[in-house]
A = this chain, B = another copy of it.
Amino acid sequence: MAVYTEVSFEDLEAFLADYALGAPQSFKGIAEGVENSNYYLQTERGSFILTLYEKRVHAGDLPFFLGLLEHLAAHGISCPVPVRSSKGAQSALLNNRPAALLTFLNGLSLRRPEAAHCAAAGAALAALHEAGKDFAPTRPNALGHQGWRELAAQCAPRAETVQTDLRALIETTLTEVTADWPHDLPSGVIHADLFPDNVLFMNGEVSGLIDFYFACNDAYAYDLAVMLNAWCFEPDGAYNVTKSKSLIAAYRRKRALSPAEIEALPVLARGAALRFLLTRLYDWLNHDPTALVRPKDPRDFSKRLRFHRNVRNAAEYGL
């Protein structure tokens, strides 16, 4: 939630010389995105987001991310679209950072989505999966189950400083999830981070999906399991089965779930909870107190993980 790299008017003017967007009319740093520096830009031609990619996004991944956004938009998904420069480039250097100009989407993200919003977001996820099917480039899931062991090894020794029994929870879950992890599920491009922050609404309808910087190739049902974690828990930690029922039903109306996907949902949900528990725990334990972001509390996800560990089959999610 910060601007890491400052861009002056003069820097912006030089950058915009390569784009046919007319004169800038407004330019403000926005407090959005934990990973990058983002600016709201208004020019004679419309509204845009200028993103400078900081260290966590690798320049080598940009053709995948930006190409995916172009592909999805061409296939009917409302997402930010990279504006190409006069020379056809999707990104360029600005103040020594790779940078891209993306179209600005109207809409607001919800803090407390209702069941109807969960349904709309679930349908949007299925539409995203369908639209991404013929996108040729691939990117492995850097935060997929193969990466959790290393993260766990880095966090587990100090996990108890955050919460009693957290080390055991992580190690047991890791062992079980690794043993039970499903293979050969239908896979393709997934968002991998479709939290309510990343879904914009207008008048109760989804107006756009944003923040594709964890997008990768992985099991579609894993993306759904991320959403169960992100959309269906109440602030007090209770699982709202009405919300998950709505979300999954709306998803299935746009993309059918195979029996193997349904059967795998509980272990995928445990895995997704472990993934966010581990990355939040890592950021919590390795937080630089002078940084401009505050880390999120990992304990929300240890609570969610404990819930999923008691789920015996997908029916408990409302299927």
A residues sitting closer than 8 Å to B (CB atoms) are 1-3, 8-12, 23-32, 40, 42, 104, 106-112, 201-203, 289-290, 292, 294
- The verdict on A25 contacting B106 (CB below 8 Å), with A31-B2, A31-B31, A290-B289 known, is yes
B31–A112 touching, CB < 8 Å: no
- The verdict on A23 contacting B203 (CB below 8 Å), with A29-B31, A31-B28 known, is yes
Given contacts A26-B108, A29-B30, A290-B290, 4 further A-B contacts (CB under 8 A): A2-B2, A2-B31, A8-B111, A10-B110
Query: With A and B bound together, what is the CA distance between A291 and B286 in angstroms?
Result: 17
B24–A3 touching, CB < 8 Å: no
How far does the Cβ of A167 sit from chain B's closest Cβ, in whole Å? 26
From A3, A24, A30, A106, residue with most partner B Cβ within 10 Å: A30
How far does the Cβ of A9 sit from chain B's closest Cβ, in whole Å? 5
- The verdict on A30 contacting B27 (CB below 8 Å), with A8-B112, A290-B289, A292-B2 known, is no
Query: With A and B bound together, what is the CA distance between A314 and B216 in angstroms?
Result: 65
Query: With A and B bound together, what is the CA distance between A24 and B109 in angstroms?
Result: 11
Query: With A and B bound together, what is the CA distance between A12 and B294 in angstroms?
Result: 23
A28–B32 touching, CB < 8 Å: yes
Contacts of A110 in B (CB 8 A): 8-10
Contacts of A30 in B (CB 8 A): 28-31, 40
Output the nearest chain B residue to A26 by Cβ-Cβ distance. Answer: B106
A9–B109 touching, CB < 8 Å: yes
Output the nearest chain B residue to A49 by Cβ-Cβ distance. Answer: B28
Contacts of A10 in B (CB 8 A): 110-112
Q: Choose among B25, B28, B107, B203 the residue that contacts A40 (Cβ–Cβ < 8 A).
A: B28
